[in-house]
Structure 1
Amino acid sequence: MRPLQNDGRSTMAQLGYTDVQIDLGSVTLTHRSPLDIPEIALLLQEKGFELISDSEAILLEKIKTNLVELVHPDSVQQDVNISIVLSRKLHRDYSYLSKLFSRREGISIEKYAIKLKMERVKELVQMNQLNFTQIAYALGYKSSSHLSRQFKSVTGLSMSEYKKGHKRRISLDQIV
């Protein structure tokens, strides 16, 4: 699934919905009829999007969306506790969120968050605007050596090796 972005508003306007709220991974319609759901699902599918109606799947997407927001450099805080953030934002007990995520995705929330961070590191390295220490700080690491060890553990490459030519990245919606 890819997130609904710039063309999301025009996609919904094609169906006659102009009063929509679009956020990362979600669209909220203020007025709709249950009869509209199949038409919306079909149009979104044609555009490469996915309509999710299962409550657990919706919660999983909310977890993923919140994790993506946590790895963005402008929102990262030192010593951020993922379990507390997710529990507060999603109004659910973290153990429930963790068990649901692991059962449905086959990976723990923590490991998923690390994979997201490593993809963000790759992006920041490719942009070549920050040095490794700045990248580590931007992503909430206490030291660049900790980030470097984790990067090598996840990717099999040092950050320097990656910078020199291994520019392979994974789309965030393909991380599992």
Structure 2
Amino acid sequence: MKILVKNMVCERCKTILKQELEASGMSINAIELGEIDIQAARGTDMQTIENIITKNGFEMVKDNTDLLVENIKAQLLQLANEPKNIALSSFLSNKFHKDYSVLSKVFSKHQGITIEKYFINIKIEKVKELIQLGRLNFSEIAYQLNYKNSSHLAQQFKAITGMSMSTYKDLKNWNRKPLDQIL
């Protein structure tokens, strides 16, 4: 049976749920961001599965709107990690075979933030990670995240965090948000 899960944003999320569910006697056929295909053991009920999911900080998706929003989030996370220079609206419209305005309205109503702002927040958290790693300079970070130039990135970073990238780098007290808490 396929179960849809909110707030699965990384490989570690998948690993934790897989371990917990298998420890309860369930067999995992497949696990992807936002989706688990479970072969439950005899006598296992949905409440047991839901308890395991919520105990680990996740939530089961129960309606089509939740499903669409979680799928949009998963696609945005994937896009932020790929060096593609593609318009966000085109990317999502092609992925979901729906007009971008429909996707945008549903997402904004459900999350209280636009898709664009959510995507910028994801990218800013990615910038924080790359600054923390210290392997790339600011221009290389901007290039990797498909910004037109480093000054555009610097402006967005300051608008979101309230500080320059240099100040953030010098702080060494990095206050990064978990990806499932970006809003």
Partner letter of residue 25 of structure 1? Answer: G
| Partner in structure 2 of residue 13 of structure 1 | 22
How far residue 171 of structure 1 moved from its aligned partner, in angstroms, is 1.3
* Aligned partner (choices 15, 31, 45) of residue 54 of structure 2: 45
How far residue 131 of structure 1 moved from its aligned partner, in angstroms, is 0.6
For 1:14 and 1:54, locate their aligned partners in 2 and report how far apart those are by CA, in whole Å. Answer: 28
| Partner in structure 2 of residue 25 of structure 1 | 34
Partner letter of residue 56 of structure 1? Answer: T
* Aligned partner (choices 72, 87, 93) of residue 99 of structure 2: 93
| Partner in structure 1 of residue 143 of structure 2 | 137
How far residue 6 of structure 1 moved from its aligned partner, in angstroms, is 1.1
| Partner in structure 1 of residue 3 of structure 2 | none
How far residue 46 of structure 1 moved from its aligned partner, in angstroms, is 2.0
For 2:70 and 2:169, locate their aligned partners in 1 and report how far apart those are by CA, in whole Å. Answer: 31
Q: Quick check: 1:9–1:20 contact (8 Å CA) kept in 2?
A: no
How many positions carry a matched residue from both structures?
Answer: 172
Structure 1 stretches of at least 4 aligned residues deviating more than 4 Å after TM superposition: 30-33
Partner letter of residue 109 of structure 1? Answer: I
Paired residues for 1:1-176 under 5 Å = 2-3=7-8, 4-29=13-38, 36-72=45-81, 75-78=82-85, 80-165=86-171, 166-176=173-183
For 1:159 and 1:16, locate their aligned partners in 2 and report how far apart those are by CA, in whole Å. Answer: 47
For 2:144 and 2:7, locate their aligned partners in 1 and report how far apart those are by CA, in whole Å. Answer: 25
Partner letter of residue 141 of structure 1? Answer: Y
Structure 2's unaligned 5+ residue stretches are 1-5
Q: Quick check: 1:8–1:22 contact (8 Å CA) kept in 2?
A: no
How far residue 102 of structure 1 moved from its aligned partner, in angstroms, is 0.7
Query: What do you get for the CA RMSD once the two structures are aligned?
Result: 2.0
For 1:120 and 1:98, locate their aligned partners in 2 and report how far apart those are by CA, in whole Å. Answer: 22
Q: Tell me the secondary structure at the aligned position of residue 90 of structure 2.
A: helix
Partner letter of residue 7 of structure 1? Answer: I
Q: Tell me the secondary structure at the aligned position of residue 27 of structure 1.
A: strand
Q: Tell me the secondary structure at the aligned position of residue 63 of structure 1.
A: helix
More strand by share: 2
Task: Give the TM-score normalised by the residue count of structure 2.
Answer: 0.85
For 1:103 and 1:148, locate their aligned partners in 2 and report how far apart those are by CA, in whole Å. Answer: 29
How far residue 90 of structure 1 moved from its aligned partner, in angstroms, is 2.2
Q: Quick check: 2:14–2:33 contact (8 Å CA) kept in 1?
A: yes
